[in-house]
Amino acid sequence: MTASIVVLGSTGSIGTQTLEVAGNLGLEVTTLAAGHPGDTLLTQARRFPDAQIVVAGGDSDERKHFELQLGGRVEFGDDAIATAASRQGSVVVNGIVGAAGLSATLAALEAGNRVGLANKESLVAGGPVVKAALRAGRGEIIPIDSEHSAIYQCLVGESIEDVSRLVLTASGGPFRGMTTEQLVGVTPDQALRHPTWEMGRRVTIDSATLFNKGLEVIEAHYLFDLDYDRIDVVIQPQSIVHSMVEFVDGSWKGHLGHADMRIPIQYALTAPRRATGMATPFQFPGVTLEFEEPDRNTFHALDLAFDAGRQGGSSPAVMNAADEVAVEAFLDGRLGFPGITQLVARTLEGVEWRELSSLDDVMAVDAEARVLAGSLISAVGYTD
């Protein structure tokens, strides 16, 4: 087991749960990093007086004020986050939201570190580049996304040649069973009410559109080196089966338990061993497990993601960037719920496809997609 951890995105849902797990395991937290110099980070910094504090954003006044409150020991900027991720000998938990997490994942891998990867956008936007870093270095990724942690654990001791199919489970989100017409006019408050998981805002909205599952399909493709014909999605509304693997002999393995992100976070820190966890024991009596097909006609995001994944190159990065812009616009009331998927589709049509071979390539296509998506918002419209 690791002795010390760097927590990126420490103020978010994954970050705060990582700090709980670290406390339970008695691990040293060497770095806390977040997007803004806010109160949550300040409280965390005081709770971990020996940790280095890193902040990506904030204007110069906010930064000065934050530094004064902390009495030094804070560094600013994206480069400082990448430097913290490359501190050798630490496990880096990447709980940053969005493509902003990619450079830290690459820096950590290049330094030979283990990355506990919650930031699925690292693989979605930068899949080819992250794979190249994995091939070149000594670093490794242990997935934290519950579905990928589940599959990773099902594959321990197995050979990928013996896998016939991965099946990612999805809760279906708050709008499961609704029609296209019913989705017009749903509000951010409704979309933020996830039935089984408590998560950050972007991933919660993505769960409502099914973009989250689409991002996860692409993440699984890069993590497990399987082509898209061998990756399926099934709705499991109780979120008890976290994903499954079918083998060529007809055997299945699945990973079951509470919907509690502390379990995959802890596994990423202790793998290949396990430690006593914080989750309450799971009881089977009284539990019903249902499985159903996703409604691909109503939730187009899933097929859009499969298509983008199959195109490869820049398409997943464009899809992710457009979705980040769309989710923000939806939460701000500038775009209707169905408009999220439409905006992503139009952005994918508008950005020229290309290969990605470096972080700069990814960031360039990400920026281009954001500009186009931003300019298309009013064209897509509120109730579209």
Ligand X SMILES: NC(=O)c1ccc[n+]([C@@H]2O[C@H](COP(=O)([O-])OP(=O)(O)OC[C@H]3O[C@@H](n4cnc5c(N)ncnc54)[C@H](OP(=O)(O)O)[C@@H]3O)[C@@H](O)[C@H]2O)c1
DSSP string, 186-216: --HHHHT--SS----HHHHHHHHHTHHHHHH
Stretch that binds ligand X, among 197-205, 277-285, 310-318, 364-372 (CB under 6 A): 197-205
- Cβ-based nearer residue to ligand X, 223 or 376: 223
Stretch that binds ligand X, among 124-132, 198-206, 280-288, 341-349 (CB under 6 A): 198-206
In the complex, least distance from residue 358 CB atom to ligand X, rounded to whole angstroms = 19
- Cβ-based nearer residue to ligand X, 200 or 312: 200
Interaction of residue 63 with ligand X, rule CB under 6 A: no
Q: Is the CB of residue 318 less than 8 Å from the CB of residue 347?
A: yes
Query: In the set 38, 313, 374, 381, which binds ligand X (CB under 6 A)?
Result: 38
Compute the distance between CA of residue 113 and CA of residue 122 in angstroms, rounded to an integer.
15
Compute the distance between CA of residue 373 and CA of residue 157 in angstroms, rounded to an integer.
44
Interaction of residue 34 with ligand X, rule CB under 6 A: yes
In the complex, least distance from residue 374 CB atom to ligand X, rounded to whole angstroms = 17
Compute the distance between CA of residue 309 and CA of residue 324 in angstroms, rounded to an integer.
17
The residue type of 54 is: V
Query: In the set 6, 203, 268, 326, which binds ligand X (CB under 6 A)?
Result: 203
Alpha helices (H) along 225-314: 262-270, 301-311
Q: Which residues of 262-283 are buried (b: 16+ CB within 10 A; e: fewer)?
A: bbbbbbbbbbeeeeebeeeeee
Q: How many other β-carbons are positioned within 10 Å of the β-carbon of residue 257?
A: 17
Interaction of residue 9 with ligand X, rule CB under 6 A: yes
Angle separating helix axes 315-331 and 211-224, nearest 10 degrees: 150
Stretch that binds ligand X, among 32-40, 133-141, 154-162, 272-280 (CB under 6 A): 32-40
Query: In the set 145, 295, 323, 366, which binds ligand X (CB under 6 A)?
Result: 145
Stretch that binds ligand X, among 30-38, 124-132, 235-243, 371-379 (CB under 6 A): 30-38
- Cβ-based nearer residue to ligand X, 13 or 169: 13
Distances (CA, A) of 298 to 204, 294, 318: 18, 9, 22
For ligand X, the binding residues in 73-132 under the rule CB under 6 A are 81, 95-97, 100, 118-121
Binding site for ligand X (CB under 6 A): 9-15, 33-36, 38, 56, 81, 95-97, 100, 118-121, 145, 197, 199-201, 203, 261
